[in-house]
Amino acid sequence: MKKIELEIVALSHSITQTHSYAVVLGETDGLRRLPIVIGGFEAQAIAVALERMQPSRPLTHDLMKNFMSAFNVDLQEILISDLQEGIFYSKLVCYTENDTVEIDSRTSDAIALAVRFGCPIYTYNHILENAGILMDEQDSDKKKNIEAVGVQESSSNIGDDLSTLSIQELQNLLNTVLENEDYIKAISIRDEIQRRK
């Protein structure tokens, strides 16, 4: 299967859901976005690495990088390889002098390591088809030059009961929350649209 390269587009925080974050990955050569819900610790680990902050003591992902480097293990790429029941599965593709090894990983941890190693993140088309969100070109142009990831607050009570909305209303709501960069709400709306198909 052909791999599609992704880049981190945004890190979003929801004020409606405690300790809930989303990292948003975008196609490097396309308009699709892949929002992935992650925990607060992993969001912090990704943000620290993106901002090139130097904590006084190594965080867990820094420790992992230091450990791998000490034993000459190079992280070549991250592969978001599967999606089952709304859960993303990822692999760390590691190289040594003598071997290539794929290691199972939570996607949030894999992304935190990818930022530290500066390695590419890939996925497959079927994952983007099932869980991705298509942005229009105007939104994509605004997002392309993001260098630092900011933490965005979520719009509060837009469409709390999604089951009462029609598909067209859901699509309109999805466009609205994407304009507001509320990726947590966008995930819920996308899942409701997918459930009805």
Asked if the model's pLDDT at residue 107 lies above 80, the reply is yes
Q: For residue 46, report the phi and psi dihedrals to the nearest 5 degrees.
A: -70, -45
Max Cα–Cα distance, the chain, nearest Å: 57
* Residue labelled with tokens 């690495």: 49
The distance from CA 91 to its chain's CA centroid, rounded to whole angstroms, is 14
Asked if the model's pLDDT at residue 100 lies above 50, the reply is yes
Rounded CA-CA distance 96/39 in Å is 30
| pTM score | 0.73
Nearest CA among 66, 62, 64, 42 for reference residue 54:
62
Domains annotated for the chain, with CATH where assigned, are 3-157 (3.10.690.10)
The distance from CA 38 to its chain's CA centroid, rounded to whole angstroms, is 8
Residue 150: predicted pLDDT: 36
Handedness of CA 80, 108, 152, 47 (dihedral sign): negative
Structure tokens at 71: 């034993």
